[in-house]
């Protein structure tokens, strides 16, 4: 099989490349299941690395093809008691010649990305037919036998006659019916318990299988049948709830279309998306999804990028614009040149990172794993002691009053055997163990669908515990693009005159300020921008050129002061200082002082003898910045701005946005020091920046958040959390989601522990039956923690905007 795999190939030194089998194992849905599979795989010679994801029901196994095969890997998984499902049942197409999964070389993909796409396609187990599965049918059969047995045992007592004898023990009709229930519902449990014992795994399957066999062996048929049926129902309900939890991950995967319409040799052809190569042109018609990342080469349309960025408003796209796989073309016709293969698209990387996020455990999850390692053995020992010790110590029955009730203790073996059996049921830590991972996956997947990529459960947990959010200024609180904010005409001129001359002077300049002025003049409809001659740049101060036969200047106030102008009697500078002089005009001093006080860059336009007007330019504050800061403050989180800009500009932006504090004129290493200081004075710190220029500060914070990461590979890779769009308003939503997730995890952990503790205390007193232990302690709590975790998917970003 390995030689036939499209991705299996020789390495550069002549040795065969290591292969990776990616398998779908839907029934592997809890950490104990994963441990059992891992132990089985570790016994296969040639297996190099194993990555198991029980929340998604998938396994990724790297192996040496010279020492083992994928068939051996699959056999090892199935020897642990779990069926491996083929890719065909996942997406309806054969992703590789492998019968159960996809095999790919662990290095770069020789097929140009198809293996990576197959990986994304099989990264979540397929939907399961839980209620019509063979396990379900056996459970319903067992339940029917139990109901019939109970009717005969307690209602139709006259029909409960002896019908057989086994090893000297008579069997009644009810006994036979209960044994039928054990055979129908209990055999799958005993089978799973056998696999657990074989893999030396002390888990729920081994405990329940042992309990069913023991109860049957000593003739407690009612208890054995009840345990077998209720536990099987509990397993089905847990499978169903886990399948529902996986739905959110499947929805992510379904965002990208499987097929693309590509133009080849002048004709249109519909082919699988993974077969499209970089540089080819795909056709996207109205209503269709864009199949691959690319650049628009022809056509115009509004594109809904909400699956990627979370932005609800469609974005206008024309020739030269970048588009992402999974975005929806809402109205126009587009021809897109492909820039990345299917497995390397932004959406594919998001899906892969969401999957990988499961492997980064939170501190609480690590605690749960450690605790569970002690919990189960201790309870098993207590169950054994409960069964064996009381009958030896209690010579005659006695009663004890508890809360007004008389509880009788007797020394018969049967009573204490049932109580020990009940403790075995309670020994299962399933609800406790899954309480954290299902919450993490629910939170991370919900965030991804709203344009927020959280790279791990540890980052989700840390974000919920931050006390202060530090924002970079440029590109974060502001747009990061200079724009004209004010045009002030002087000497009887109009705004159009000021923009016309300013645009003419700046049209040959490549400075960002020039671009802002030209954009504003175009937006204002100034069509007769003059062509300058004798253009000259005055370094650091402005420009000079001849327009309409007259020499004009555009530049900083300092340039015009050199020309002899006294610009103000008293005005603020952007560094907070003052300069004195004689006013140059009636309107200028107040306007100039006010604009500079606001931290704006002022460009004067005029000749060497008269001023035409001034243009103020600034990096505009994002519309939602102030609201974001306000929302954070409402939730008890402080906001601080860290910037390399001068004091005046920083102060103006800080006042406009409403941050609690700001630090100006910071070098990158000084931003790191500021983050450390905030941590020492406030607590947890989240840093929000562009993911590149702020890399040191992002890395030093407890949580690094990158803005606008959809088009930035660096931000996707380096940030702890990435906002796929430029919507700063997602920060309050991110904090609320993370904070709520932490609360849900705490609720799940302590609720499952508390219920188990109460039940365990009630068992020796005879207050807890086997049925109650299964229904409440196992099935009820597993469903409860899963349902509680799914609440995170209902947190709406709009509530925090």
Write out the catalytic residue numbers.
472
Burial class (CB in 10 A: 0-12, 13-18, 19+), 528: exposed
Bridge partner residues of 405 (DSSP): 402
Q: Is the dihedral of CA 372, 378, 384, 387 positive or negative?
A: negative
Which pairs count as long-range contacts for 371-380, CB under 8 Å and 24+ apart, including other chains? 371/432, 372/31, 372/429, 372/432, 372/433, 375/427, 375/429, 375/432, 376/202, 376/203, 376/207, 376/427, 376/428, 376/429, 377/202, 379/423, 379/424, 379/426, 379/427, 379/760, 380/202, 380/207, 380/424, 380/427
Q: Is the dihedral of CA 101, 106, 110, 111 positive or negative?
A: positive
Which pairs count as long-range contacts for 673-679, CB under 8 Å and 24+ apart, including other chains? 674/470, 674/640, 674/642, 675/470, 675/642, 675/700, 675/701, 676/700, 678/468, 678/470, 678/640
Dihedral (Cα; 192, 197, 202, 208), 10-degree rounding: 40
Dihedral (Cα; 676, 679, 685, 687), 10-degree rounding: -20
What beta strand segments (E) does 452-496 contain?
Answer: 452-454, 466-472, 478-489
| CB-side neighbour CA atoms (13 Å) of 420 | 23
- Coil/strand/helix, residue 645: coil
Angstrom distance (rounded) from CA 428 to CA 377: 10
- Coil/strand/helix, residue 715: helix
Bridge partner residues of 689 (DSSP): 706
The answer to whether residues 496 and 524 touch, using CB atoms and an 8 Å cutoff, is yes
The answer to whether residues 289 and 334 touch, using CB atoms and an 8 Å cutoff, is no
**Which residue has 């040799």 as its token pair?**
265
Angstrom distance (rounded) from CA 463 to CA 183: 50
**Which residue has 């045992």 as its token pair?**
153
The answer to whether residues 721 and 761 touch, using CB atoms and an 8 Å cutoff, is no
The answer to whether residues 575 and 647 touch, using CB atoms and an 8 Å cutoff, is yes
- Structural tokens at position 122: 């099989």
Bridge partner residues of 544 (DSSP): 536, 553
Q: How many CB atoms lie within 10 A of CB 263?
A: 13
């Amino acid at each position: 099989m390995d030689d036939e795999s499209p991705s299996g190939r020789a390495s550069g030194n002549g040795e065969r490349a290591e292969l990776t089998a990616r398998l779908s194992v839907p029934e592997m849905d809890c950490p104990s299941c994963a441990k059992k599979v891992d132990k089985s795989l570790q016994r296969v010679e040639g297996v190099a690395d194993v990555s198991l994801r029980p929340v998604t029901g998938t396994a990724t196994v790297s192996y040496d093809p010279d020492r083992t095969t994928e068939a051996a890997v699959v056999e090892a998984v199935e020897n642990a008691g779990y069926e491996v499902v083929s890719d065909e049942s996942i997406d309806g197409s054969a992703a590789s010649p492998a019968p159960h999964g996809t095999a790919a070389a662990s290095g770069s993909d020789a097929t140009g990305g198809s293996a990576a796409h197959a990986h994304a396609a099989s990264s979540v187990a397929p939907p399961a037919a839980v209620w019509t599965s063979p396990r379900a049918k056996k459970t319903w059969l067992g339940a029917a036998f139990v109901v019939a047995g109970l009717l005969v045992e307690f209602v139709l007592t006259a029909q409960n006659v002896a019908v057989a004898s086994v090893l000297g023990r008579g069997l009644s009709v009810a006994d036979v019916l209960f044994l039928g229930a054990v055979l129908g519902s209990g055999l799958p449990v005993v089978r799973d318990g056998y696999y657990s014992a074989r893999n030396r795994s002390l888990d729920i399957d081994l405990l329940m299988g042992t309990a069913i066999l023991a109860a049957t062996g000593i003739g407690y048929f009612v208890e054995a049948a009840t345990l077998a049926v209720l536990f099987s129902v509990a397993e089905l309900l847990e499978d169903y709830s886990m399948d529902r939890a996986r739905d959110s991950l499947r929805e992510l995967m379904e965002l990208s279309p499987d097929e693309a319409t590509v133009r080849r040799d002048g004709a249109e052809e519909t082919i699988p998306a993974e077969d499209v190569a970089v540089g080819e042109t795909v056709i996207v018609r109205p209503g269709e999804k864009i199949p691959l990342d690319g650049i628009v080469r022809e056509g115009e349309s509004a594109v809904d990028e909400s699956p990627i960025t979370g932005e609800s408003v469609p974005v206008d796209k024309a020739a030269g614009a970048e588009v992402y796989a999974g975005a929806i073309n809402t109205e126009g016709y587009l021809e897109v040149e492909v820039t990345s293969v299917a497995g390397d698209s932004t959406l594919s990387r998001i899906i892969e990172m969401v999957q990988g996020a499961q492997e980064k455990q939170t501190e609480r999850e690590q605690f749960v794993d450690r605790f569970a390692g002690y919990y189960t053995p201790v309870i098993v020992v207590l169950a054994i002691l409960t069964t064996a010790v009381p009958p030896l110590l209690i010579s005659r029955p006695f009663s004890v009053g508890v809360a007004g009730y008389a509880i009788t203790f007797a020394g018969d073996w049967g009573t204490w055997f049932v109580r020990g059996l009940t403790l075995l049921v309670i020994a299962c830590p399933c609800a406790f163990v899954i309480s954290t991972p299902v919450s993490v996956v629910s939170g991370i997947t919900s965030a991804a669908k709203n344009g927020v990529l959280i790279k791990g459960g540890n980052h989700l947990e840390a974000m919920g515990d931050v006390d202060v959010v530090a924002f970079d200024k440029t590109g974060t609180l502001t747009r990061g693009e200079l724009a004209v904010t004010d045009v002030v005409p002087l000497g009887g001129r109009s705004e159009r005159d000021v923009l016309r001359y300013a645009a003419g002077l700046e049209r040959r300049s490549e400075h960002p300020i020039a671009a802002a002025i030209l954009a504003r003049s175009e937006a204002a409809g100034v069509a007769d921008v003059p062509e300058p001659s004798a253009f000259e740049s005055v370094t650091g101060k402005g420009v000079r050129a001849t327009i309409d036969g007259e020499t004009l200047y555009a530049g900083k106030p300092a340039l015009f002061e050199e020309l002899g102008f006294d610009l103000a009697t008293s005005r603020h500078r952007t560094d907070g200082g003052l300069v004195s002089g004689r006013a140059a005009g009636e309107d200028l001093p107040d306007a100039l002082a006010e604009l500079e006080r606001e931290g704006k860059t002022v460009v004067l336009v005029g000749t060497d003898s008269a001023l035409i007007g001034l243009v103020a330019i600034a990096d505009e504050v994002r519309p939602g910045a102030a609201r974001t800061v306000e929302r954070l403050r409402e939730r008890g989180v402080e906001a601080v701005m860290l910037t390399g800009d001068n004091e005046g500009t920083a102060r103006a932006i800080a006042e406009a946005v409403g941050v609690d504090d700001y630090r100006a004129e910071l070098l990158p290493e000084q931003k790191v020091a500021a983050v450390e200081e905030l941590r020492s004075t406030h607590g947890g710190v989240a840093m929000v920046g562009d993911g590149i220029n702020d890399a040191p500060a992002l890395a030093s914070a407890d949580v690094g958040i990158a803005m606008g990461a959809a088009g930035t590979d660096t931000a996707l890779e380096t940030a702890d959390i990435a906002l796929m769009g430029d919507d700063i308003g997602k920060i309050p939503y991110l904090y609320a989601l993370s904070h709520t997730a932490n609360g849900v995890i705490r609720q799940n952990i302590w609720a499952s522990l508390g219920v188990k503790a109460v039940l365990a205390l009630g068992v020796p007193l005879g207050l807890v039956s086997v049925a109650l232990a299964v229904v409440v302690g196992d099935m009820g709590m597993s469903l409860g923690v899963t349902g509680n975790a799914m609440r995170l998917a209902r947190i709406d970003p709009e509530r925090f905007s």
